[in-house]
Chain A
């Protein structure tokens, strides 16, 4: 997910006279060694990543049951998908969740980065604290937050104490997504903070000082000087966080299992459920294809936006 750097870098280690011996030895030693070195990784990759990705596409055109016959059914799975209210429901949930989680975590990331960007006593400790949730397993985060949001957990108790009635957010079909978004922000903002921090350190100090001399307040300086400079970092974060949000599974599965009702049933939860509980694996693969298409569309949109800016 880093920069897709050019592959056209110089690779030559020796000039090219070896070709004339190609007939005799079949391959130059360099080529043979190179292939031998790549082969283990590449074979595993073909077998366990590339192959399954292709197979996933094929599977969505078939009727498949584990251990049974596989039958080519053309677009039947996609027809079912289009007419499946559950699918559209889970797509909607995924989009709403992402629309809340992505801006949420980016805003918190930027805010925290601004707070810890200057060095002061203990700044490293604060940075470490804010990054700690990122290294925590999502399952553990899910478990702890399930309790925090539970009927008699701290969050509900706090709300009751200040006069709000009502039970656990996780049991409320409207509030469940905001609760899950809070967890997602908690688990992600430390990462975004470091990305923004790295970019902030590259912004020349003079820019801000000049703005200050011209009488700009802190908010104006941030809005007109810092924010434009952060654009590349924010774009990178936007792409990454969208992917993460689309594919969210662990915390949601642990905390709500997709409930209450279908209120937090995202695409990946639906995929897992169809594939590993209903054992409807061809249909699950079709949902996977839909997820892929969705990812492509978002990548394309983001590409277009970035292209327009340049």
Chain B
């Protein structure tokens, strides 16, 4: 490749990176500006470090509570989805039982149905059971994750049958096999799936929006969107956004490998 083309490519790459990162930069810089009108370009230049916006968003808004709600929602869902899909995936991959094909294909068929088709009936159901504004109403329905079951089944199908037969011959019970065979062997897919389920729930908006109706039951996404709608000063909204983004960013830095694998192997919603 000629030097000129190399330089051209480098320039394009650099510009693309700047454009991609600009929203993050703006969010960060504005969150550290004193509360007040945002004027360009001065407001985008570094300097004038102030924690005012953070004090306000932590003090007046229920940010700590939203953070807690989001963490509960994300963590419980990850544990639940992983456990349920591991058990079901193992059974679908390695067991024979009546109704297996029907059950499995009904899982797969549901992947084609847009989520929004089920939204209204699901809300009516949860509302009927008194699940509005509760943790269980928020969390339990999201444990039904067909895609996770599908992926676990695909993964466990690739494990050799002989492994399980040998364990059985050695006198291992079903629980023992799950604990000391399936669990360690599925670690890679559990990690990948876990990262994505966490991300999905941390960023989820529509379901928490309809279920968490009081201010105390909002998640971060719902709460910060409500700050914006209530015309809270821009710096304060940006400070809240930074608080919501930092955990995802940390997770991304630590688990980048899993994100990349997750996309290329699972095609999971990002």
Contact = CB atoms under 8 A, between A and B. Distances in A.
B225 A49 contact: no
B92 A38 contact: yes
A137 B23 CA distance: 13
A144 B27 contact: yes
Interface string A39-68: 011101101111111011001000010100
B112 interface: yes
A240 to B, nearest CB: 7
Contacts of A116: 13
B23, B113, B205, B260 pick with most chain A CB within 10 angstroms: B23
Contacts of A288: 114, 116-120
Interface in B91-138: 91-101, 103-108, 110-125, 127
Contacts of B20: 129-130, 132-133, 186
B220, B241, B270 pick with most chain A CB within 10 angstroms: B270
Contacts of B224: 139-140, 143
Interface stretch (B52-60, B82-90, B186-194): B82-90
Given A38-B88, A45-B110, A194-B264, A56 B94 contact: no
A260 to B, nearest CB: 16
Contacts of A254: 225, 228
B123 A148 contact: no
Contacts of A13: 94-96, 161, 164-165, 168
Contact of A154 (B40, B111, B141): B40
B120 A59 contact: yes
Nearest to A250: B205
B115 to A, nearest CB: 7
A268 B118 CA distance: 12
B97 A144 contact: no
A30 B120 contact: no
Contact of A11 (B24, B95, B149, B220): B95
Nearest to A144: B23
Nearest to A114: B9
A152 B116 contact: no
Determine the main DSSP class of B at the interface with A.
Answer: helix
Interface string B199-215: 10011011000100000
A45 B145 CA distance: 7
B36 to A, nearest CB: 13
B24, B88, B234 pick with most chain A CB within 10 angstroms: B88
B38 interface: yes
Given A141-B23, A250-B206, A41 B144 contact: yes
Interface string B33-49: 00000111100100000
Given A42-B88, A139-B221, A152-B40, A33 B174 contact: yes
Interface residues of A, number: 96
Contacts of A246: 114
Nearest to A254: B225
Nearest to B19: A186
Contacts of B161: 10, 13
Contacts of B17: 126, 129-130
A4 B151 CA distance: 10
Contacts of A296: 112
B116 A291 contact: yes
B62 interface: no
Contact of B121 (A42, A59, A198, A249): A59
Contact of B115 (A55, A137, A247, A289): A247
A47 B118 CA distance: 11
A133 B39 CA distance: 25
A246 B113 CA distance: 12
Contact of B88 (A12, A40, A51): A40
Given A45-B144, A147-B234, A137 B120 contact: no
Contacts of A44: 84, 140-141, 143-144
Contacts of A50: 106, 110
Given A37-B88, A131-B259, A152-B40, A272 B26 contact: no
Contacts of A9: 157
Interface string B226-259: 0010000010011001001100110110001001
Given A38-B88, A48-B141, A137-B202, A143 B237 contact: yes
Contact of A31 (B94, B96, B222): B96
A275 interface: yes
Contacts of B164: 13
Interface of A: 1-2, 4-5, 7, 9-13, 27, 30-35, 37-38, 40-42, 44-45, 47-53, 55-56, 59, 64, 66, 112, 115-116, 126-148, 152-154, 157, 186, 191, 194-195, 198, 236, 240, 243-244, 246-247, 249-250, 253-254, 268, 271-272, 275-276, 281, 284-285, 288-289, 291-292, 295-296, 299
17 contacts: A2-B154, A2-B266, A9-B157, A31-B95, A35-B99, A44-B84, A44-B140, A48-B140, A115-B12, A137-B248, A139-B203, A186-B23, A191-B270, A250-B221, A275-B120, A276-B123, A289-B117
Given A44-B143, A47-B125, A186-B20, 4 more contacts: A52-B119, A112-B16, A130-B16, A148-B22
